[in-house]
A = this chain, B = another copy of it.
Amino acid sequence: MKPKNDTFLRALLKQPVPYTPIWIMRQAGRYLPEYNQTRARAGDFLSLCKNPDLATEVTLQPIARFGLDAAILFSDILTIPDAMGLGLYFAEGEGPKFERPLREEWAIRDLTAPDPDSHLRYVLDAVSQIRRALNNEIPLIGFSGSPFTLACYMVEGGGSDDFRTLKTMLYQRPELLHHILQVNAKAVTDYLNAQIQAGAQAVQIFDTWGGMLSSHAYEKFSLAYLRQVVSGLIRDHDGERVPCIVFTKNGGIWLEKIAAIGCDAVGLDWTCDIGEARKRVGGKISLQGNMDPMVLFSDPAAIRKEVQRILVSYGSGSGHVFNLGHGVSQFTPPENVAALVDAVHELSKAFH
């Protein structure tokens, strides 16, 4: 059943819309005081992710505050490797870490894709519960990290400035990395399909780290597996098309190639001019983005100016979902997010 406000889904499918829809990556996050309160009750970040009641609560917080056109499942991009047994934890102020990074050949050969219905039940429960809570007002987005991005964290054992361990494997033992990516591609496909069956009305794949590869390595180690995931996704569920968005941070240079893997939309970071991007993809797919999150540290007038610049650059017609080019910073003043959402809704009417 279509949600009452289906502008987000329609824009992804290039159907006419009365205004440009907007959601914001990491919209349920630390810049919201109510989020921090819920998180404090949960104890820590991972407990928040794993508790469907609390995950539902934080998913809805930005919806209640701002007139956003989509909700996104509150979860972490590393739930899959956690379900694989790598032992995800968050060291205070340090980002995600794994207790058992994936480096030994025997461990890599032993790796298997988790069954979402058992090992990732808490995520599917959150999806169902959020859908009920949304009461069909706006659509819910499911998501996953990309096979390559998951592999980065799995091999490196956490974030990194240069992903040296991962890249050493890539150049020295490419067959081992391909094995991991093959397992990850199956895991991501199964996971997203389970989210769709639980009620996700669109899905986004976050390829956070693909953009640090050489062009050649990107095609072989990230894009090939993104293509595999996209081609394995359930695309119609409950009588509706389920659009799929692929977002490779820093991937603007490869836009034509990403647009050709079968997704409905490509997410853009802010380094790419969205009007040029629209020309480059020949209007064949939709585009999502692409304001610099740092604009939100200025003021409503400057935000409005930048929104207008992006809307003018994209031009008239459907096929644009407004978003930031990266997750919203934890230091962002929430009132500037309100100014952004209002500016997009108001100014975009002239383009439809």
Contacts and interface: CB of A to CB of B under 8 A. Distances in A.
B215 A167 contact: no
Interface string A250-265: 1011000000000000
Nearest to A171: B298
A167 B292 contact: yes
B215 A271 contact: yes
A179 B326 CA distance: 29
Interface in A184-230: 211-218
Contact of A294 (B167, B250, B309): B167
B164 A216 contact: no
Contact of A253 (B213, B218, B272, B294): B272
A164 to B, nearest CB: 6
Given A171-B294, A171-B302, A271 B329 contact: no
Interface residues of A, number: 39
A244 B278 CA distance: 34
Could you say which of A167, A211, A214, A217 has the most chain B C-beta atoms within 10 Å of its C-beta? A214
A275 B15 CA distance: 38
A90 interface: no
A276 interface: yes
Tally of this chain's copies: 2
A172 interface: yes
A135 interface: no
A162 interface: yes
Interface in A265-287: 270-273, 276
Contacts of A325: 214
Given A164-B329, A164-B331, A253-B271, A216 B171 contact: no
Given A216-B309, A272-B215, A297 B252 contact: no
Nearest to A270: B214
A264 to B, nearest CB: 23
Contacts of A297: 164, 167-168, 171-172
A313 B215 CA distance: 11
A308 to B, nearest CB: 12
A122 interface: no
22 contacts: A162-B293, A162-B294, A162-B329, A163-B294, A164-B297, A167-B295, A171-B294, A171-B295, A171-B298, A172-B297, A172-B298, A213-B270, A213-B292, A214-B271, A214-B290, A215-B271, A215-B272, A215-B273, A216-B309, A216-B313, A218-B271, A250-B250
